[in-house]
């Protein structure tokens, strides 16, 4: 997505992700002959088309880098106890260095219980309580959830300063909102921000978002953010991926973010497109976490 009127305002997430993956590929190429291959297990429950596509994309990237990719698919009818038992078996296998459980899970399964079944040192998604605790402490030995880590990488490689800036996050979910707030609160480079988290019960929302130097939208509401909610010159990072009906397309729908990109383009300084903005960085950070897990477990450096 490139605007002919504002071609320089878009942040190319795909290009940044490609640079990250190229660096990882270079590091994997240094593995000596005969060394165990870094191996990631992908766990999927059910046959949701979006989950199938997303896991498939992650597997393709992993295999292209040189990872061994293992796919475990369980039926929608699997119980929580059965799923946890299967994840524990994967965790006990020394040949598997990283485990990813694709969300969403069936509504009757508690995701926190499932995430907690992944051994912390193999939790490449970063959702285990131990890793979230390390994020609170600022302990770099843990794994940071992939999308927040990708947001930080995107801002860093785009040379968008965060220190002392007001970052407003729309959404308080475990996957993006909460961990992103923790990432940008850290007293370190490409963080050190003043962070406000907004959610469905926030009052005077437009007043708060209009004070943001950087707005991170991760609320799952298509095209919700318009120009009256932003101040001139702000940076907008749109994490939302929503399907809206569009009879002009072959699929009958199109993907849009939480931000009305066309409407806000004239007033923002930079913005991520949907698709092609944050999504590729999420996958790249998953690969980075998986490589970190391998190096930690095998003592490779």
Strand runs labelled E in the chain: 39-45, 68-74, 98-101, 166-170, 194-198, 214-217, 235-238, 242-245, 253-256, 270-271
pLDDT value of position 6: 72
Using CB atoms within 10 Å of the CB of residue 32, give its burial: 0 to 12 exposed, 13 to 18 middle, 19+ buried. exposed
**Band (4; pLDDT cuts 50, 70, 90):** low
Q: Are 180 and 186 in contact (CB under 8 A)?
A: no
Query: Please, what is the Cα angle at 177 between 96 and 16, to 5 degrees?
Result: 65
Query: Please, what is the Cα angle at 279 between 276 and 282, to 5 degrees?
Result: 140
The CATH number of domain 34-120, selected from 3.40.50.10860, 3.40.50.720, 3.30.310.80, 3.30.2320.20:
3.40.50.10860
- The answer to whether residue 301 scores a pLDDT higher than 80 is no
N-to-C CA span, the chain: 39
Tell me: the pLDDT tens digits for 101-160? Answer: 999 999 999 999 999 999 999 999 999 999 999 999 999 999 999 999 999 999 999 999
Q: What CA–CA distance (Å, rounded) separates 9 from 25?
A: 29
**Band (36; pLDDT cuts 50, 70, 90):** very high
pLDDT value of position 186: 98
CATH 3.30.2270.10 assigned to 146-280: no
Tell me: the pLDDT tens digits for 209-261? Answer: 999 999 999 999 999 999 999 999 999 999 999 999 999 998 888 999 999 99
Mean pLDDT calculated for residue range 267-294 = 98
pLDDT value of position 289: 99
Domain-by-domain residue ranges, the chain? 34-120, 146-280
Same CATH fold assignment for domains 34-120 and 146-280: yes
Which residues are annotated as catalytic?
Answer: 58, 102, 125
Torsions phi, psi for 28 (to 5 deg): -65, -30
Give the pair of three-digit tokens for residue 183. 């990432």
- The answer to whether residue 279 scores a pLDDT higher than 90 is yes
**Band (3; pLDDT cuts 50, 70, 90):** low
The proportion of the chain whose per-residue pLDDT surpasses 90, expressed as a percent, equals: 93
Q: How far is CA 75 from CA 48, 139, 212, in A?
A: 11, 37, 44
- The answer to whether residue 100 scores a pLDDT higher than 80 is yes
pLDDT value of position 166: 99
Torsions phi, psi for 265 (to 5 deg): -50, -40
pLDDT value of position 7: 73
**Band (1; pLDDT cuts 50, 70, 90):** low
Average pLDDT, the chain: 96
């Amino acid at each position: 997505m490139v605007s002919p009127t504002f071609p320089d305002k878009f942040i190319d997430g795909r290009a940044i992700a490609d640079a990250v993956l190229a660096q990882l590929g270079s590091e994997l190429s240094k593995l000596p002959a005969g060394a165990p291959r870094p191996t990631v297990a992908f766990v999927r429950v059910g046959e949701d088309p979006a989950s199938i596509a997303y896991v498939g994309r992650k597997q393709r990237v992993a295999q292209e880098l040189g990872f061994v990719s293992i796919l475990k698919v369980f039926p929608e009818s699997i119980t929580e106890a059965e799923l946890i038992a299967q994840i524990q078996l994967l965790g006990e296998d020394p040949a598997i260095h990283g485990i990813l459980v694709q969300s969403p899970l069936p509504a009757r399964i508690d995701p926190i219980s499932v995430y907690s079944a992944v051994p912390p040192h193999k939790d490449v998604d970063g959702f285990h309580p131990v890793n979230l605790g390390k994020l609170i402490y600022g302990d770099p030995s843990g794994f940071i959830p992939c999308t927040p880590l990708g947001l930080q990488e995107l801002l860093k490689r785009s040379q968008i300063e965060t220190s002392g800036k007001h970052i407003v996050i729309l959404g308080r979910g475990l996957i993006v909102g909460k961990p992103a707030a923790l990432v940008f609160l850290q007293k370190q480079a490409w963080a050190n921000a003043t962070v406000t988290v907004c959610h469905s019960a926030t009052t005077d929302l437009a007043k708060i978002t209009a004070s943001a130097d950087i707005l991170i939208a991760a609320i799952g509401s298509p095209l919700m953010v318009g120009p009256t909610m932003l101040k001139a010159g702000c940076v907008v990072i749109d994490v939302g991926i929503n399907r809206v009906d569009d009879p002009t397309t072959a699929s009958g729908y199109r993907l849009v973010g939480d931000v009305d990109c066309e409407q806000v383009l004239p007033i923002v300084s930079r913005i991520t497109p949907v698709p092609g903005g944050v999504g590729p960085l999420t996958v790249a950070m998953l690969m980075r976490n998986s490589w970190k897990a391998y190096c930690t477990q095998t003592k490779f450096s």
